[in-house]
Structure 1
Amino acid sequence: MPSELRDVSVPRSDNKPVHVAFGVDAGYYRGMGVTITSVVENNPGLEFVFHVFAFSITADNREKLEKLEKQHGVTVQLHLLDTTTLDEFRQFPCFSKHSLGTFIRLLIPSRLSGIADQVLYLDADLLCFGDLSDLLAIDLGDHIAAAVADEKDTTVKTQIPALGLKHGHYFNAGVMYIDVQNWIAANVQQVALKALTTLDMRFADQDALNIALDGRIRYIDTKWNYRYHLVDYLTRGETRLNVSQPYVFMHFTGPVKPWHSWCLHDIRELFSDIQSRSPWAESPLDGPGTARELKLFSKFLITQHRIAEGVYWHCRYLRSRLMQKLKSS
């Protein structure tokens, strides 16, 4: 049973609420909170119910979700998932390769049966910059979901043949407008979970969803899930947000997120500005912690001609690698 912050069975107005769902683990509650803030601020005329799916939550994040409701006048429902849900898949060879958070996105629509006819699933590493009305007005018909195609050459050349996709398209699952009953009727949850736990997936649950939804996706404009891979820009020394095409959702794919202090890009300040109007306003940005993050940070600094700082952080990276080797020996 979900852990409720508010009873969503009775909308707070005569408007039909828009159901939006997230699947998060410990490191993404802040990102999700800022995403929600950006959605609400850009859609003042819509009634929202935000569903938060997770296997665990800290007392601090629970308190912040309650503040989020009051601060923005929205409904938030927390769904704490039981790990026994996945018991039948633990026997499969690839199960242990994935963290529990990998499975959350696959479980959401079935949990919303009887609550929502359609649900907008969002990753927690994106920001909203516009009106969602056109997306929410899409008639899915027999399609299970609407999503944006990933048309990068590397994806087309590798993932479509690797997954045996018969309809020649691959989508990014960070934004999906889902018909709940069509999802359930097609048994998407079971098909995707079995694929994820029996096959070696490059992009984990996203690959599994592409298998389960092959031929049942309505493809929509890139503006609904514009991927902005910060590593690519920072590696080239580009620090300004300069996009020529329209976008409503900007999705920060890759290991660098706007809430990282070592994200040396203008988007960090924009994210911090939106965060300042959320319950996470006082939360400091995350510093580099892993060896990979230390290495990337040093690389970005050197690219921006901050040589002394870059050398310092590269030494921190080398020390981190050394400590890892000593622990494993």
Structure 2
Amino acid sequence: MSRKYFEEEVIQQTLDYNYAQHSDADKFNIAYGIDKNFLFGCGVSIASVLLANPEKALAFHVFTDFFDSEDQQRFEALAKQYATQIVVYLIDCERLKSLPSTKNWTYATYFRFIIADYFSDKTDRVLYLDADIACKGSIQELIELNFAENEIAAVVAEGELEWWTKRSVSLATPGLVSGYFNAGFILINIPLWTAENISKKAIEMLKDPEVVQRITHLDQDVLNILLVNKARFVDKKFNTQFSLNYELKDSVINPVDAETVFVHYIGPTKPWHSWGAYPVSQYFLQAKSNSPWSHCALLNPVTSHQLRYAAKHMFNQKHYTSGINYYIAYFKRKLLE
């Protein structure tokens, strides 16, 4: 009996942009699961990994439900530019749309389960990354990482003991006091993930009303429950989280340092937003300028949520006229909602 929850029929189309000069046997696989709103970020994220790791044999896999002709041109140009392989998979999302979602987490968050199932008989490990991650260092340590016998994944802890304790109580999982991880970075041990039926168990939990009542971070909570005592915690340099909205606080501590490998821009304001112009955005912007997106403008606010944040950031950056204009646009938009 198959241990996959998602068979390959969910993949409607595959586009393989292969300009790599290395053999398939040598490559390290990196995967993203995104909707149309994160294609810009994803392309630049891939560019950042390639910029920081020029000699590595890498292959990138993008699982998405939207990919137009402009996206095709840019992703193929990116593969050509860096002599790498980028494979795009168009996904049928119908089976995912009944699962819980929020304003910040759409059904695309569940693509990581399709990713793990897709690779179940193809390779022994895949690095899953959120598309709002920029790379600024070597990933050689991850390429060389050897899993212990019971380790299903390598992850990075989020927060400290107080947060872990709260999650352990909320999720009725005492083992989480030893660490709760952010699911934006997961190095998946594919054979053990498959043997333990993680994708199937996770989807079943997400369909259970009692579980859904307890969770606040959707599949991240579920994965923490399923992988308790079965994941290896690696250094925070592999998932250094920072929200650009922290810049609105009176004092800001930037956790990114010389050792950081992945900068994870959590929160609703992203470095591809026109109002996210801060020094910490440089890792994204540097990769953008060395990619087919180099001439693309940063995105302006569209929703009322974005307009409100744009106004706050413009005032914070002392661009007062823009801030006032965004607040006016925000209030007009709210009247129409």
Query: TM-score normalised to the size of structure 2?
Result: 0.86
Give the corresponding residue for 1:76: 86
Which range is displaced more, 247-256 or 99-108? 99-108
Which range is displaced more, 117-126 or 292-301? 292-301
Checking the alignment, whether the CA contact within 8 Å between 2:17 and 2:76 is kept in structure 1 is no
- State the SS of the aligned residue for 1:77: strand
Tell me which of 34, 42, 66 is aligned to 1:24: 34
- State the SS of the aligned residue for 2:67: coil
Give the corresponding residue for 2:106: 99
* Ranges in structure 1 where 5+ consecutive residues have no aligned partner: 325-329
How far residue 264 of structure 1 moved from its aligned partner, in angstroms, is 3.1
Give the corresponding residue for 1:123: 130
Q: Within 5 A, what are the aligned runs for 1:19-58?
A: 19-58=29-68
Which range is displaced more, 197-206 or 217-226? 197-206
CA 273–115 in structure 1, closer or farther in 2 if over 3 Å, else same: same
Please tell me the residue identity of whatever aligns with 1:111. Answer: Y
The 2-side partners of 1:20 and 1:196 are apart by 25
The 2-side partners of 1:78 and 1:317 are apart by 36
CA 295–235 in structure 1, closer or farther in 2 if over 3 Å, else same: farther
Superposed CA offset, 1:250-290 (max 9, x none) = 10000010000011312445423321221222221111111
- State the SS of the aligned residue for 1:252: strand
Please tell me the residue identity of whatever aligns with 1:166. Answer: P
The 2-side partners of 1:50 and 1:203 are apart by 26
* Ranges in structure 2 where 5+ consecutive residues have no aligned partner: 1-7
CA 100–14 in structure 1, closer or farther in 2 if over 3 Å, else same: closer
Give the corresponding residue for 2:242: 228
Determine whether 1:203 maps to 2:217.
Answer: yes
| Identity fraction in percent | 31
Superposed CA offset, 1:221-278 (max 9, x none) = 100100011111233376x967456211010000010000011312445423321221
The 1-side partners of 2:306 and 2:258 are apart by 30
Please tell me the residue identity of whatever aligns with 2:93. Answer: T
Give the corresponding residue for 2:172: 164
The 2-side partners of 1:20 and 1:170 are apart by 23
CA 184–11 in structure 1, closer or farther in 2 if over 3 Å, else same: farther
The 2-side partners of 1:213 and 1:104 are apart by 18
How far residue 152 of structure 1 moved from its aligned partner, in angstroms, is 3.9
- State the SS of the aligned residue for 2:174: coil
Determine whether 1:114 maps to 2:124.
Answer: no
The 2-side partners of 1:296 and 1:237 are apart by 18
How far residue 166 of structure 1 moved from its aligned partner, in angstroms, is 3.0
How far residue 95 of structure 1 moved from its aligned partner, in angstroms, is 4.0
**For this pair of structures, how many residues does the alignment match?**
317
Please tell me the residue identity of whatever aligns with 1:24. Answer: I
RMSD value, Cα:
2.5
How far residue 213 of structure 1 moved from its aligned partner, in angstroms, is 1.4
Give the corresponding residue for 1:151: 159
CA 197–102 in structure 1, closer or farther in 2 if over 3 Å, else same: farther
CA 225–96 in structure 1, closer or farther in 2 if over 3 Å, else same: closer
CA 96–24 in structure 1, closer or farther in 2 if over 3 Å, else same: closer
Give the corresponding residue for 2:262: 249
The 2-side partners of 1:242 and 1:172 are apart by 16
How far residue 15 of structure 1 moved from its aligned partner, in angstroms, is 6.2
Please tell me the residue identity of whatever aligns with 1:122. Answer: L
